[in-house]
Structure 1
Amino acid sequence: MSDEPRVELRELRPEQWDGWWGNLVRAFGAGPVSEEERELDRSLTECDRSLGAWDGELCVGTSGAFSFRITVPGGAPVPAAGVTMVSVAATHRRRGVLTAMMRRLLDDARGRGEPLAVLLASEPAIYGRFGYGAATAKVSAEIDTGRVTLAVPPGTDAVRLRYADPVAALPECEAVYAALVPTRPGLLVRRPGWERAVVLDPEIHRDGASALQCVVAERDGEVTGYARFRTKVGWGPSGHDGTVTLEDLDALDPASGAALWRFLFGIDLMSKLVVRRRPVDDAWQHLVSDTRRCLPRLSDSGYVRLVDVGAALAARTYQAPVDVVLAVEDDFCPWNAGSWRLSGDAKGAVCERTGDAPELALSARELGAAYLGGTSLAALASAGRVRELRPGALAEASVAFGSVRAPWLPHGF
C-alpha cells in the first residue's frame, strides 16, 4: 500500500481565495496581473461551485463553475455550468486530480438540474475524454485596410456614429448585447457583474496601444450598435503603419454593423485592422473586396458537454422535423448511456429513453459538438465518429441539428 499523501478535494472557502487563485495564475504561466483583474475574478468566483485540490496544506489544483444560461437553437436560454479556472500543479500531474475535479463538477451540475456544461479549453486535447465536443468556432483576421475596401448595404449613410466613454456607454451597449442573445446559439446571458469584464482595461495588457475606445451607432436617436477597440500608432519607411485592434462589435441591423466596420477601416493613420474571436458567419467577410488580404484564420472556441441528454436535446428546437433513435455512449456520465428517441421540429422537441432499435450511434462528445448546430453530424460521420444504423437517418438528423446562424461563444470566462 502506497504511503504517498492523498490529494483531497474541498469546496473553496472565501478566505482561501488568494492562495487558490495564486496557484491558478502560476499553473497558467501568467505574466503580471493587475489589481483590477484580481478583484474582478474574486467578485465573480462562486465559491460554493469552486474546488481546491489539497495535498496537506498545499493547494495543488483548482477548478470551478459559473451559473450561466446559454442560448440554444430556437432561442431558449438553458442553464449551463461554465467550467472554469481548471489547473493542476506541475508537481501533481498524472495522479487523477483533474479527473476527480471533472467528476465533482459534472455531478454538481447534474444535481443543480443544469442540462449542459460549457468551457473554453486552453488545451483542447484534454477535454474530449470527459465528453466535451468542440461546438463553436471563431474567425480571426489581419485586414490590410489600405488595399481592402467595403461595399456597404443601403441605409448605412443614415447611421450616426459617435465616440463614447466605454464605461459610461456600458448600459446602452449591454442593451444591444442582451437583444442579440436570443438570436444566436452559444451566446451567454450576461449575469450581474459580468458587464465589468468587457470594459476591463489594465494598462499592463495594452502592449503600447491606446486605452479602450468605444464608438456607438444610432438610428432615430436609439443606440443600435457599438464597437470597442484600441489603436496603436506605427510608422514605416512609407509613412503611417498603425493598427486597430477590435475587441467587440455588435449591431442590431446590417446598416448599423456596416457603419461600424466602415469606421474601423477608415481611422486616420491606421493601415491594419486586427479582428479576433468573431463568429464564422460574421458580416465583414461579405462586405470586403478581397478576403485573401484579410488573412482569415479559423480555430476552435467553445466546448459543450451534455450533462443530461434527454433534457438537453429537448431544450432546443430543430430546423427540420426529426424522429430518430440515438444510441449514446457515455463512459464518464453513465446515466446518459443507452438509447434515446428524439422527436422534434422548429416548434419544440421531446427526448426520452426507448427500447426501440437505434438508428444513429455516437458518443457524448459528438453530441456536444453537434448540439449548438455548428458541427455537422454528417461531417462527424465522415470521420467515423457517428455511425448510421438506419439508411437515411444521418441525413435527416444532420439537417435537423443545424442552425441558421453559426453558434458563437465570445464571452470569456
Structure 2
Amino acid sequence: MALSTRFVVDSAADTDAWIRAVHTGFLNPPALSQETLDARRAKQDFRRARGVFDGERCVATFRSFDQRLTVPGGAAVAANAVTAVTVHATHRRRGLLSGLMSADLAEAKERGDAVATLVAAEYRIYGRYGFGPAAAFTTWRVDGTRTGLDPRWALPESEGTLSFVDGAEVRKAGPELHERFRAGRAGAVDRDALFWERATGEARFDIQPWQEPFHVLYRDAGGVPRGLVTFTVENRWEASMPGNAATVQSLIATSPAAEWTLWRFLLSIDWVTTLDTGRAAPDSPLPLLLPDARAAAVREHADLLWVRPLDVPRMLSARSYAAEGELVLGIRDPLGLAEGRYLLDASPREATCAPTRRAPDLVLDAGVFARLYLGEFSATRLAAVGWIEEETTGAAARADLLLRTDHRPWCPDIF
C-alpha cells in the first residue's frame, strides 16, 4: 500500500492517529483514552501537524508552530519551531523525515521566518538538515550541607518578598514576568497560554499523573515580580533525620540579583539537603556565589536549543555586536535555503547585512553558522578543528570580536 502524507488538522481521526503515533515514536504507551485525545485536540495547535499514513495508521509525525526567539541585544526574530518529529521503527530508511522536514522548512522560508528551531532528542539527525546546536544548559546537584551558607537565611524586607503562590497566580503574573526575562536572555523563546496551563495543572493530558509543584514568586521592594521558581520536593528520612531533595522545574529571573535570591531561598528551605537545579543557564552565577563552590557538582551539561538559518540577512541585522567591523560569510546549505555570500557591516550601534559578490572571509555550513549566531561557540575554535574555512587571515578572530556576548545563550524550555 502506498504511503500518504497529509496535514491532520481537518480530521479528528487523523489527529488521534497522529497523537498515538507520536507516543509510539517516543516509546511511550500508545493506548490513550478518548478523553485525553479530545483534550489535546481542543488545546494544541495542529494546523501545521503533518503525518505519513500507511493506510489508516500514522507511521511518521511532524509539527511546527510560530515562535519568537530572542537574539543578542534583546530583539526577537520570527522562528519556525519544530516538534513531535518521529518515524516508526517499521518505516525507517524511506526518506520520510527528509520529505517532512524539507516541505516544512520551505514553507517557513516562504512565510518569512528568519530561523527554524528545535530541541534534538538525538544529536546526529539534524545536522544534515542545516541545524546546529546554539544554546546549552547545565544541571547542578547542590549538597546543601556543604555550601557554607547560613541555613537560617531570610530575605530582608528592604529587598522585597518571597511568597508561595498557587497556579492561578502563576498564570496571572508569569507571562508578563517571562516576557521581561526573555527580552534579556538570548536563546529564550516565548511561552504561549498552553505552556502556563500545563505548568500549573490547568491543562492535563500528559502520560504521567499530575504532581502539584510548589511555586514561589519573588517581588522587589516595589511589589514588581522579578523572579519565579517552580519546584518539587522528594521527602526522604533516615534515622529520624530529614534529607529531602528539591528539584527545580523552572526558574526565571529578570536580573542576577533576583536569580540569586531564588537560589538562596531554595537552599534555605527547612529539611531540604539536596538541590537539583534542573536545566539552568550554563553561566548561572549559582556556583560562584557559594562559599564552597564544590558543593555544586555538575550532573549534566548538554545542548538543548538547535537553530536552522533561513534568512541570513534578517538574522544578522537583528542582533547586536560587541565591536565595529565588516565580515563576508560564505554559507553552504544542504537544502539551499540559506546558501550564499553575505556582507555583515556591524557596530555596537547598528548592523546591516545583505547578499554580496565579494569573496568570503569565512566559509561554513549553515549548521556551523547556527552555532555562532547566538554566541555559544567561538569561530576561532571551530576554524581550528576544520569546521570553518578561513579565507582571510584573522577573519575568525574578527568574527569572535563581533559576535561576543556578555552571557551565554540559554533556552530553559523544551518544546
Question: So what's the TM-score if we normalise by structure 2?
Answer: 0.90
Contact persistence 2:109–2:337 (CA under 8 A): no
More displaced, 293-302 or 251-260?
Answer: 251-260
Deviations 1:124-157 (A, max 9, x none): 11001111000000010111111113499x9786
* Correspondence for 2:68: 69
* Correspondence for 1:29: 27
Task: Give SS of 1:278's match.
Answer: coil
1:191 aligns with 2:192: yes
What does 1:387-398 correspond to in 2, within 5 Å? Answer: 387-398=389-400
CA distance in 2, matches of 1:64, 1:214: 31
Task: Give SS of 1:300's match.
Answer: strand
Task: Give SS of 1:48's match.
Answer: coil
* Correspondence for 1:307: 310
Question: So what's the TM-score if we normalise by structure 1?
Answer: 0.91
Distance 1:121 1:162, change over 3 A: same
1:324 aligns with 2:322: no
More displaced, 95-104 or 212-221?
Answer: 212-221
Deviations 1:10-58 (A, max 9, x none): 1123412111010001110125979997666534543331111122332
Query: Deviation at 1:223?
Result: 2.3
Given the alignment, which residue of 240, 243, 256 partners 1:241?
243
What does 1:136-155 correspond to in 2, within 5 Å? Answer: 136-150=135-149
CA distance in 2, matches of 1:384, 1:72: 26
* Correspondence for 2:177: 176
Contact persistence 1:64–1:85 (CA under 8 A): yes
CA distance in 2, matches of 1:172, 1:26: 36
Contact persistence 1:71–1:184 (CA under 8 A): yes
CA distance in 2, matches of 1:261, 1:244: 11
CA distance in 2, matches of 1:346, 1:40: 48
Task: Give SS of 2:409's match.
Answer: coil
Contact persistence 1:40–1:197 (CA under 8 A): no
Contact persistence 2:74–2:185 (CA under 8 A): yes
CA distance in 2, matches of 1:306, 1:117: 7
Distance 1:232 1:63, change over 3 A: same
Query: Deviation at 1:261?
Result: 1.4
Distance 1:82 1:150, change over 3 A: farther
Q: Which runs of 5+ in 1 are unaligned?
A: none
Task: Give SS of 1:301's match.
Answer: strand
CA distance in 2, matches of 1:172, 1:37: 28
Opposite residue 4 of structure 2, the aligned amino acid is E
* Correspondence for 1:260: 262
Distance 1:242 1:155, change over 3 A: closer
Q: Which runs of 5+ in 2 are unaligned?
A: none
CA distance in 2, matches of 1:320, 1:211: 47
Deviations 1:43-81 (A, max 9, x none): 454333111112233211100101011111121111000
Contact persistence 2:106–2:337 (CA under 8 A): no
Task: Give SS of 2:248's match.
Answer: strand
Task: Give SS of 1:193's match.
Answer: helix
More displaced, 181-190 or 112-121?
Answer: 181-190
Opposite residue 277 of structure 1, the aligned amino acid is R
Deviations 1:191-250 (A, max 9, x none): 34332233248697479xx62111111222332222111111102247211110111122
Deviations 1:381-402 (A, max 9, x none): 1221011111111111122122
CA distance in 2, matches of 1:94, 1:239: 55
* Correspondence for 2:340: 338
* Correspondence for 1:11: 7
More displaced, 195-204 or 10-19?
Answer: 195-204
Contact persistence 1:156–1:255 (CA under 8 A): no
Deviations 1:303-354 (A, max 9, x none): 000012222222222222231111111122x142232111122233222221
Query: Deviation at 1:292?
Result: 2.7
Distance 1:215 1:144, change over 3 A: same
* Correspondence for 2:101: 102
Contact persistence 2:81–2:116 (CA under 8 A): yes
Given the alignment, which residue of 271, 282, 294 partners 1:269?
271
Opposite residue 274 of structure 1, the aligned amino acid is D
Contact persistence 1:133–1:365 (CA under 8 A): yes
CA distance in 1, matches of 2:269, 2:315: 45
CA distance in 2, matches of 1:344, 1:121: 31
Given the alignment, which residue of 6, 20, 33 partners 2:18?
20
Query: Deviation at 1:121?
Result: 0.6
Opposite residue 26 of structure 1, the aligned amino acid is T
1:167 aligns with 2:165: no
Distance 1:204 1:11, change over 3 A: closer
CA distance in 2, matches of 1:107, 1:409: 25
Distance 1:134 1:241, change over 3 A: same
CA distance in 1, matches of 2:95, 2:249: 37
More displaced, 54-63 or 95-104?
Answer: 54-63
CA distance in 2, matches of 1:106, 1:156: 51
More displaced, 28-37 or 228-237?
Answer: 28-37
CA distance in 1, matches of 2:216, 2:238: 28
Deviations 1:361-412 (A, max 9, x none): 1000101111111122222112210111111111111221222221111122
CA distance in 2, matches of 1:412, 1:40: 21
